[in-house]
Amino acid sequence: MPIQVILDCDPGTDDALAVLLALASPELNVLAVTVAGGNVGLTHTLRNARALVSLTGRDTPVYAGADRPLLGAFVSETGVHGQDGIGGVVLPEGAPPAPGLAADVIRRILRDSVEPVTLIGIGPATNLALALTTEPALAERVAQIVLMSGAWAEGNVTPAAEFNAWSDPEALAVLLACGRPVVFATLELTAQALVTQAVIAGWRGLGAGRCLQAACDIQATVPASRRLGGAGAPLHDPCAVAWLIQPELFTARPCSARVDLGPGPGRGRTLIDRWNRTGDKLNAVVLETLDAPGFFDLIGGRLALLP
């Protein structure tokens, strides 16, 4: 039986490939795509999500959600993703958004689902946190929460913090406190998914489908990471999706995790205790290593199956 999932995202170049991968994979039944402002503002992320879903030919509903974090101001990341979130690549206009607000829809799906639902969060966690804080009992209907978020060492938006965690640390704290298993694909993991021009060329050779070629066009706009020595661009968000599809590509470690909510330079830092130094409850799993060639083969192979 496929895993029942809600995909919460903020497309975003890497989100674009994650959305396509999820919709191309029979292991997952994507009940809804919910959208927040994150990499760019909600106007752009919602348009991009709608366009990506329509590009696949699927009728998965797309819902608008939060346009700002629970506290503080919204900040985008146009230096990586471009002003529109997908590097200026033009996609056909997607179907209109489904009626309803993301947090309300998440609660409804959890309430009505016959089996527990996995929440995949690959943007700021605002929509997921709003759903679980307004009806906390629904956490019992959550199978697990799989996030691309955090870092156990250095951040990428500040020296301390990864972008998704930093964008809404209070929302991430809600998820960590809800009592359900939380899986982290951190920056240390996604640094192993380093996309080079050779990887993109290999994907292009797998077929001429519009989804595959759009994914390649989008990824080709992403600048090489200065943080990683300019060798390529880390493909963050698809790691969270791939873990549900082919967990054998990863190694993982139980750990305790919390997030810095202070106002200082450490705000948004994820304090991931991989060696149980604190003795805190093990409330998370951190993905540690990735079979990168297998990961890239998975993405290329699945996207080549789409139209």
The structure tokens listed for 27 are: 């292991």
Rg (CA), the chain: 18
CB half-sphere exposure, 113, CA atoms < 13 A = 25
User: In this structure, are strands 62-64 and 233-234 parallel, antiparallel, or unpaired?
Assistant: unpaired
Sheet holding 3-9, edge to edge: 62-64, 28-35, 3-9, 117-121, 142-148, 182-185, 284-290, 250-259, 270-273
Concerning whether 236 is annotated as a catalytic residue, the answer is yes
d(Cα 18, Cα 184) in Å, to the nearest integer? Answer: 15
For residues 184-193, b (16+ Cβ closer than 10 Å) or e, as one string? bbbbbbbbbb
* Helix segments in the chain, DSSP class H: 13-23, 42-56, 78-81, 102-112, 126-134, 163-167, 169-177, 187-190, 197-204, 210-220, 238-245, 292-303
Angle at 40 between CA 107 and CA 185, to 5 degrees: 65
Helix (H, G, I), strand (E, B) or coil at 145: strand
The residue annotated as part of the active site, out of 236, 258, 269, 302, is: 236
What is the four-CA torsion angle of 171, 173, 178, 183, rounded to 10 degrees?
A: 100
How would DSSP label each residue in 14-76? HHHHHHHHHHT-TTEEEEEEEE-SSSS-HHHHHHHHHHHHHHHT----EEE--SS-SSS----
The answer to whether 110 and 145 have CB atoms below 8 angstroms apart is: no
Q: Which residues participate in catalysis according to the annotation? A: 236
